Chain A
Amino acid sequence: MADKENHDERLERLMNQLAESVLGLSDEAILAETIEAGFDPEQEAERTRLVLRQASKAFDNVNNRLSNLGHSINPHDWRSGQGSYHNNCLNCGSSVSFTTATGEMRGDALGGLCPESDQYTIRRRDPSR
């Protein structure tokens, strides 16, 4: 069978079946398995929550930063590639990217105000003033 079928596909099927089997586990069973595998379930759970939070925060941060600089992006045009997400300002075309894991932002768009923006930007006052 392995001659005709790609080993990659066989392994994928095995892992996907195991993934699906996880979904049928009760709360107690999944926590017990985690302990048996050598992990602290609470620590594992909080680490996972952090991953989810970071993704949400990274998305928020990049959108706020772009908005403050007067850039306008299509929120549906984020493209993923090589661990980061890329987009371009609809007005000036400058690029921006960010990673969900670290929240790191890069790109020309972050370098300054959008030169093509006709938006009247109200900036927040510096609390020290």
Chain B
Amino acid sequence: MSNGTPRTPWQNIPLLIDISNFQLRGLLEKMEVDRAIEALTSSELVRLQKFADFRVRGLGRAARGRTGADLLGEAVLRTLIGAEDTQRGRHWNKDVDFELHLKGAIRGISSCWRRHFKEKEAYLVSELPIHDAKGREQSPLDNVPQENSLTSSAHAAPDELLIEKEKEERVLTIFKDDPEAAQVVQGLLDKLKKDEIMSKYGLGEKQYAAAVRRIRVKLLGRRNGGSKE
């Protein structure tokens, strides 16, 4: 082109874009997701982080070492996968604000991790070949008491059950100097509703709210692993 020959019109087209409507929609939605991430306020971000941290803590062994940050990352990823298809991933309906969408995604993904963990555990136990003293193959579930065999605890070895029990006791120990917080923790562990806890332990609305606040602050505080620095 340096010989001064005039360009034909097609040579002036700087770029040919080979992209389907499907891909274009994905790209545009990704831009919207990126914009929504930048638009989140500090309080929304901190709320999302705490929400994800508690959800991961609730998973226990099922978290498999994953953190609240991993859960947040997965929520964004699932949103981007869902951006191109309303049937897959976590489609973001733009009528819902982004923070609310992410909360739903976090809730769904953590429940999914729990479910997969339970399925995997069941699979691993069934795959374990064990043999008796005479070399005959046995199922590891043969010796599990019937009343436990259909519960999720059927898949946890006795030492794992002990670890889980210790974790529960450790949480209660954190609040040994705060009777109201300990009562609320005990009530929530025992599947009691807010009104039932307040009634059982004689707590008023403000006392209950203050106790829940102290529990959150303490469990996600620096001393109890709240920092990932």
Contact A22–B188 (Cβ < 8 Å)? no
| Residue B164 CB within 8 A of the other chain | yes
Contact B191–A18 (Cβ < 8 Å)? no
Nearest-neighbor residue (CB-CB) of A98 within chain B: B77
> Interface SS of chain A: helix, strand, loop or mixed?
helix
A30-B171 contact given A14-B189, A15-B55, CB 8 Å threshold: no
0 or 1 for each of B101-120: is its CB under 8 Å from A? (1 = yes): 00100000000001000000
A51-B72 contact given A6-B153, A14-B189, A78-B81, CB 8 Å threshold: yes
Binds B, one of A40-48, A88-96, A107-115: A40-48
Chain B count of residues within 8 A CB distance of the other chain: 72
Q: Which of B44, B48, B58, B226 contacts A11 (CB 8 A)?
A: B58
Q: Which of A12, A45, A76, A78 contacts B58 (CB 8 A)?
A: A12
Contact A15–B76 (Cβ < 8 Å)? no
A21-B212 contact given A7-B167, A31-B46, A78-B81, CB 8 Å threshold: yes
Determine how close the nearest CB of chain B comes to the CB of A22; give it in whole angstroms. Answer: 5
Nearest-neighbor residue (CB-CB) of B77 within chain A: A55
Q: Find chain B residues with CB under 8 A from A75 CB.
A: 26, 81, 84-85
CA distance A56 to B38 in the complex (A): 12
Chain B positions near chain A (C-beta within 8 angstroms): 16, 26, 30, 33-34, 37-38, 40-51, 54-55, 57-62, 64-66, 69-70, 72-74, 76-77, 80-81, 84-85, 88-89, 103, 114, 151-153, 156, 161, 164-165, 167-168, 171, 185, 188-191, 212-213, 215-222, 226-227
| Given A55-B72, A56-B80, A75-B85, 15 new contacts (CB under 8 A) | A6-B156, A8-B60, A10-B190, A13-B191, A30-B47, A34-B50, A37-B221, A41-B46, A45-B49, A49-B37, A49-B45, A76-B81, A76-B84, A83-B65, A100-B73
User: Mind listing 30 A-B residue pairs with CB under 8 Å?
Assistant: A1-B191, A8-B164, A10-B168, A11-B164, A11-B167, A11-B168, A12-B60, A15-B58, A16-B58, A19-B51, A21-B216, A22-B50, A22-B216, A23-B51, A27-B41, A30-B46, A33-B217, A38-B226, A38-B227, A48-B45, A49-B45, A52-B37, A52-B72, A53-B34, A56-B80, A75-B26, A76-B84, A76-B89, A100-B73, A101-B73
